Amino acid sequence: MTKGQPIDSHRSVNHNPKINKFFKTVISYKASDLHLKVGLPPKMRIDGVLKKMKADVITEETMEDLIFDLLTEEQKKFFLKRGSIDFAHALTEIDRFRVNVFRQKGYIGLVARRIDSNIPPFEKLNLPPIIRDIAEYPTGLVLVVGPTGSGKSTTIASMIDKINRERACHIVTVEDPIEYVHQDRKANVNQREVGIDCVDFKDALRSLMRQDPDVVLVGEIRDVETLEAAMQAAETGHLVFGTLHAASASQTIQRILDMFPQEERELARQTFALTIRGIIAQMLLPSIDPKVKRVPALEIMVANPSVRKLLKEEREDDIPSVIRSSQNEGMQDLTESLRILIEKELIDLDNALVYAPNKEELRMAIKGIRANSSAIL
């Protein structure tokens, strides 16, 4: 959520905005997103594809009526001043949406992501066993990265749910907005939503240590202040989860370091090498199994001594080689993940080749041939 957005701006629970009819259609079709644009009929994304709803074309007048009926007065003022606003919208306790309202070419537009409050178990997500192991780490920083819509939040929600069910601890999440609602199980779970429960991520993380957490989720690491707070929490004995927009472990490391000014980068590098426990880079692929709509392909880096040594020595370009040669520790690169998904008959070769970083390497991997990683330490 943009800094400075209104706090505590919930509508009355009895308010039933006109736009709810579109949200209800999205829910009934189990679609993932709602798109409203002036001059077009409403659309929803089903299995990754945008499809038209059976509704009239949205006029400028209709759009303004729908949006201003949805927003509170504070939110309306913020939107008219800034041209964009993010917020969560709940039809019921379990039917929730992450909404972005924005201006484009002078018209109002809306995109809303449906938030599935049912937290799926690891088995249904087709995640490798190492993800369970990572959720059992007592301390350190775990980053789940990938593009928008890659399933990062779902993967972390499953990890948090596992901890919630198995550990008597205190879990604090800071999210924008809250996506999955966690009920207290064995753990106490407090979920703070940016714009409602706190001003921004930095403000929430500043008061974090006074809340006696054991496990922390930072919904998205967007700036150096948030990153520093996350690393400090990990350094002082907490297990910290965070998300970032990056395509791989190597790109994640580069993005992390690039957040710091040049004069602070060496200290940041050493702190990051000390606190990082794992990086999970994820993307979602369409499945050929009729029982599974989409499956995750993952690159998984575990911060073993070799990885930490390379980080400290500014040799992160060599980390992909460590990932390839450390499958016995649960690590895997994207090529290996694609090979496994093909072997499990969840995706086909043609589809896998579209996403493969190296098509020939994937073909060789399917035949059981992987290039040997040379000694790098």
Assess if residue 373 is contained within a domain.
Answer: no
Cα dist from 3 to 8, 77, 103, 108, 313, whole Å: 14, 15, 18, 21, 36
Three-class DSSP category at 116: strand
Tell me: do 289 and 261 sit in the same domain. Answer: yes
Summarize the confidence of residues 114-139 as an average pLDDT.
Answer: 90
Assess if residue 15 is contained within a domain.
Answer: no
What is the rounded distance in angstroms from the CA atom of residue 221 to the CA atom of residue 365? 34
pLDDT tens, residue by residue, 330-362:
999 999 999 999 999 999 999 999 999 999 999
Tell me: do 228 and 286 sit in the same domain. Answer: yes
User: Does residue 107 surpass a pLDDT of 90?
Assistant: yes
Residue 265 makes CB contacts below 8 A (sequence gap 6+) with: 257
Per cent of the chain over pLDDT 90 is 77
pTM for the model stands at 0.82
Tell me: do 359 and 244 sit in the same domain. Answer: yes
The total number of structural domains in the chain stands at: 2
Residue 306: domain span? 122-366
Sign of CA dihedral 195, 199, 200, 204: negative
Residue 59 DSSP one-character state = P
CB neighbours (10 Å) of residue 372?
8
Tell me: do 54 and 170 sit in the same domain. Answer: no
Three-class DSSP category at 142: strand
CATH of the domain at 248: 3.40.50.300
Tell me: do 152 and 288 sit in the same domain. Answer: yes
Summarize the confidence of residues 122-143 as an average pLDDT.
Answer: 94
User: Does residue 304 surpass a pLDDT of 70?
Assistant: yes
Tell me: do 91 and 225 sit in the same domain. Answer: no
Tell me: do 198 and 265 sit in the same domain. Answer: yes
How many Cα atoms are found within 13 Å in the side-chain-facing hemisphere of 149?
Answer: 15
Distance of CA 267 to the CA centre of its chain: 27
Summarize the confidence of residues 198-217 as an average pLDDT.
Answer: 91
Tell me: do 62 and 142 sit in the same domain. Answer: no
Query: 86, 1 in Cβ contact below 8 A?
Result: yes
- Mark which of 84, 100, 115 sits at the end of a domain: 115
